[in-house]
Chains A and B, each alone.
Chain A
Amino acid sequence: MLGLSLLLGSGALSVILLVVSQWLRGSALLVTTAALALALGVSGWWRLRTAEWACLPGTRLFFAALAPILIVIGWQATNHPLTADGLFNFEIRAQIAAAHGGHLPHAFFSDASRTWMHQSYPLFLPLHQTWIYLTLGGVEQGWAQLLSLHFVLAAATLLYAGITRLTGAAWRGGVAVALLFLVPAAMFLPGGATTLWADFPLAVVFLAAVLAVAEFTAQGRGLALCAAWFALLPWVKREGLILAAVLGLALLWIAWRRGELRRAVLALVPMIGGVVAWKIFLTAVQAGGDRDFFPVSLATAIENADRLPIIALALGRELLTWERWNLLWFAALLAFLRIARDTRLMAWRWLPPVVLLPIALYSCTYLFSAWENPALHIVTSLPRLLLPLAMAALIGIAVAVPAWDEKN
Chain B
Amino acid sequence: MKLRIACWWLLLGVFAVAGLLRWSQAFSVAAPDLAPDRAIDALARQHFGLADGAAILRRELGTFPTDAPLLIFGPGNDWTLTEAHFLLSYLAWPRPVWCLGDAGPATRARFDHPPPPGVRPAGLFFYKVAPPVELPSRALSERLSVAITGS
What is the interface of chain A, defined by CB distance below 8 A to chain B? 72, 74-76, 78-84, 86-88, 91-92, 95-96, 99, 105, 107, 111-116, 138-143, 175, 178-179, 181-184, 187-189, 322-323, 326-328, 330-331, 334, 372, 401-404, 406-408
Contact = CB atoms under 8 A, between A and B. Distances in A.
B90 A81 contact: no
Contacts of A99: 93
A81 B33 contact: yes
Interface residues of B, number: 47
B40 interface: yes
14 contacts: A79-B31, A82-B38, A83-B39, A111-B96, A112-B96, A113-B97, A140-B34, A142-B38, A184-B19, A331-B11, A331-B15, A401-B9, A404-B9, A406-B1
Nearest to B115: A113
Interface in B37-59: 37-43
Contact of B36 (A87, A113, A138, A322): A138
A179 B20 CA distance: 11
A402 B8 contact: yes
A181 B89 CA distance: 36
B18 A182 contact: yes
Given A95-B90, A111-B94, 4 more contacts: A72-B27, A141-B37, A142-B35, A334-B11
Contact of B39 (A75, A82, A113): A82
Given A76-B27, A404-B5, A113 B15 contact: no
Highest count of chain A CB atoms <10 Å: which of B8, B30, B97, B98: B8
A196 to B, nearest CB: 10
Contact of A116 (B16, B43, B113): B113
Contacts of A72: 27
B128 interface: no
Interface of B: 1, 4-5, 8-9, 11-12, 14-16, 18-20, 22-23, 26-28, 30-43, 69, 82-83, 86, 89-90, 93-94, 96-98, 110, 113, 115-116
Q: Which of A86, A139, A326, A408 has the most C-beta atoms of chain B within 10 angstroms of its own C-beta? A: A326
A143 B33 CA distance: 9
A39 B83 CA distance: 42
Given A87-B90, A113-B69, A326-B22, A140 B36 contact: yes
Nearest to A194: B26
Contacts of B4: 402
Given A92-B90, A114-B96, A327 B11 contact: yes
Contact of A175 (B12, B28, B90): B12
Contact of A323 (B22, B28, B90, B96): B22
Nearest to B14: A327
Given A78-B32, A114-B96, A402-B5, A326 B37 contact: no
Contacts of A404: 5, 9
A112 B116 contact: yes
B19 A183 contact: yes
B1 A80 contact: no
Looking at B19, B41, B43, B82, the one whose CB has the most chain A CB atoms below 10 A away is B19
Contacts of B5: 402-404, 406
Given A113-B97, A182-B20, A80 B12 contact: no
